[in-house]
Chain A
Amino acid sequence: MSNEQRPTAEPGSGGVGPIGGVDRLGGPGRAGPAGLDGSAPERRVASWRLLAANPVTVAAAVVLAVVAFVALFAPWLAPYGVNEVDVAGALQSPSWAHPFGTDDLGRDILSRVMLAAGTSLQVAVVSVTFAFCIGVPVGIISGYVGGWLDTVSMRVVDVMFAFPVLLLALAIVAILQPGIATTMLAIGIVYTPIFARVARASTLSVRTEPYVQVAQTMGTPWSRILRRHVLPNITGPLIVQTSLSLAFAILSEAALSFLGLGIQPPQPSWGGMLFAAQGFVTQAWWMSVFPGLAIFVTVLAFNLLGDGLRDVLDPKQRTRMEARHR
């Protein structure tokens, strides 16, 4: 059974349909290395131009730059301390002094949203890096070598795909103790099979390219073929997948923290703030609106950036990564 025929319902996973169907919308197996002709440096310049010509992609990149800036400099930028309690000023609606209002302990919500940005981005970056570093080598090697190695590793991936993302993450958190490290590990493990699948599918299409075959005929060691010929030609889909996975990782972290099983208080997190807001939805709308808006805007920006990147780097598979997360 070819790769495209396996059930997936994961975010950004390769091929969304268990069978045929969606693959006709652009299956992972046919992912071209890059959508543009020309030599690698030329292609890179052309890609950047195309990216810069798309206003939505540029806007998404600017939003992400702002979020990253806030995340890095929040301790200096935030108007109040993250855990500065002021019981007398609890549950204040938005004002000049507190643009996002205050929570049930009188803490400034704007400051907490700003400081939580760092936590969310940190978790997302670390967990996606983890998934990338494990998943990509597994996918490349199994796609290139094939045989029983490929069969076994892809069967393991299938089994992991049988668990919904959040459920698998919850099971991992249940085994270990909730906390930032567990959250990163859980999200990292959950997204590893996606990278393995994308890397494998792209490798399969590159493997039959003439330049790889020539290198093989000339007796180039396979480790060198993988590094020099395969990896550079599958970066497009991987970059796209990274951007989309960052979006889903932020959503997963927020969901875990919202359940009280991710980032633990007093460390602020967007999901954790929403968890605290649950008891006050009808009295203090600002407690739930602003942290949620922060998650939404960041995730949307990563998704739009991923879409923009895909149009430029990987145009053949426009629809295949749009599956679900959660």
Chain B
Amino acid sequence: MRSGSPRALVVFLGGRLLYSAVVLFGVLVLTFAIVQLVPGDPIRLALGTRFNQEAYDALRAASGLDRPLSEQFFSYVTGALTGDLGVSFRSGQPVTLLLLERLPATISLAVVGLLIALLISVPAGIWAGLREGRLADGIVRVTSQFGVSIPDFWMGLLLITLFAGVLGWLPSSGYAPLAEDPAGWARRVILPALTVGLVAAAILTRYIRAAVLEVAHAGFVRTARSKGLAPSVVTGRHIVRNALVPVLTIVGIQLATILSGVIVVEVVFAWPGLGRLVYDAVAARDYALIQGAVLLIAVLFLFVNLIVDVLSAIVDPRIRLS
């Protein structure tokens, strides 16, 4: 059968890569525009009260803003592709360096958050999906609707109030690098990761429930039941396994969303990741840093989505044929 051939997969991957490249180019144009669209002189604004002519001239030359627009764009794109994102308007340090310093904190928070989300949502979603319309399903649906509607920063504040204030079990905020102080890191990551994870769990649960429901009503499941297979076999082998592909997609998107959406949570918990960096950069009007951070987050987002697409196509032949 030609449809299952590796050729179909290669064509699919090629198309997907090309598509990502087109979107990436658009992302580059949009992030380039950030500095250009600032009304007034971005360097003067960034320097603020620290303005003096030498610093201004040096920064302007270093950032290349004195060159023609087309030249600036070209050097921005080539720089971005080679990992050079210019220098911070505030500290004068390379933007790439500043971003890389913050990346481990964000990744560690996102991964723990996703783990918490999966530990909650997979059992809850499957459980609810298999009990459609019953009390258990109702409870799961209501709880996840609550989780979708709760502002994450508010949940963070409530968790701090409870676990750091009332109970005094955990520190309210702060960070310790995982490699240097694993115990300190673990104590500090729990609350922000719970905040991120509970919100993500609410969304994941709804999708897993829907995916399970969809498969549970499929013809092959009815066939499996009617030929007398044990319910646990039908659930495990037929329903859950087939529901996994759409779930994989959502998990990937959730990871991308978490990676890029931790801004507020990092601010609440003083977690020194990318989100906190963006926030500080906006407050300091450090446009080069804002530009670099926004680009990095968007690229991470695209990259995770690409990986998820490729994985789904490998797992499910129907996708690469669509």
Contacts and interface: CB of A to CB of B under 8 A. Distances in A.
Interface of A: 1-2, 5, 7-9, 16-22, 24-25, 155-156, 158-160, 162-167, 170-171, 173-176, 247, 251, 254-255, 258-261, 271, 274, 277-278, 281-282, 285, 288-289, 292, 295-296, 299-300, 303-304, 307, 318-319, 322-324, 326
Contacts, number: 214
Contacts of A254: 151, 153
Contacts of B312: 17-21
B23 interface: yes
Nearest to B245: A21
Chain A to chain B: the 5 pairs with minimum beta-carbon distance, closest first? A159-B26, A292-B154, A282-B165, A21-B246, A21-B249
B207 A162 contact: no
Contacts of B151: 251, 254-255, 258, 271, 274, 292, 295-296, 299
A120 B276 CA distance: 25
A157 B249 CA distance: 20
A175 B38 contact: yes
17 contacts: A5-B322, A18-B312, A24-B214, A155-B22, A160-B30, A162-B23, A162-B302, A163-B297, A164-B301, A166-B263, A170-B282, A174-B287, A176-B39, A281-B172, A292-B154, A300-B145, A322-B207
B268 to A, nearest CB: 7
B309 interface: yes
B319 A19 contact: yes
Contact of B157 (A17, A170, A274): A274
Interface string B246-285: 1111101110110011011001100000000011011101
Given A323-B253, A324-B257, A282 B161 contact: yes
B305 A164 contact: no
B288 to A, nearest CB: 12
B301 to A, nearest CB: 6
Contact of A296 (B150, B211, B257): B150
Contacts of B51: none
Nearest to B310: A19
Contact of B154 (A167, A274, A318): A274
Nearest to A170: B282
Given A16-B250, A20-B312, A21-B316, 18 more contacts: A5-B322, A9-B254, A18-B308, A25-B211, A163-B301, A164-B257, A164-B261, A164-B301, A167-B278, A167-B298, A171-B294, A174-B282, A255-B153, A274-B153, A274-B154, A274-B157, A289-B158, A296-B151
Contacts of A281: 157, 160-161, 164-165, 172
Contacts of B257: 9, 164, 324, 326
Interface string B281-322: 111010100100010011001100100110011001011001
A164 B263 CA distance: 10
Contact of A21 (B30, B248, B281): B248
B149 interface: yes
A158 B298 CA distance: 12
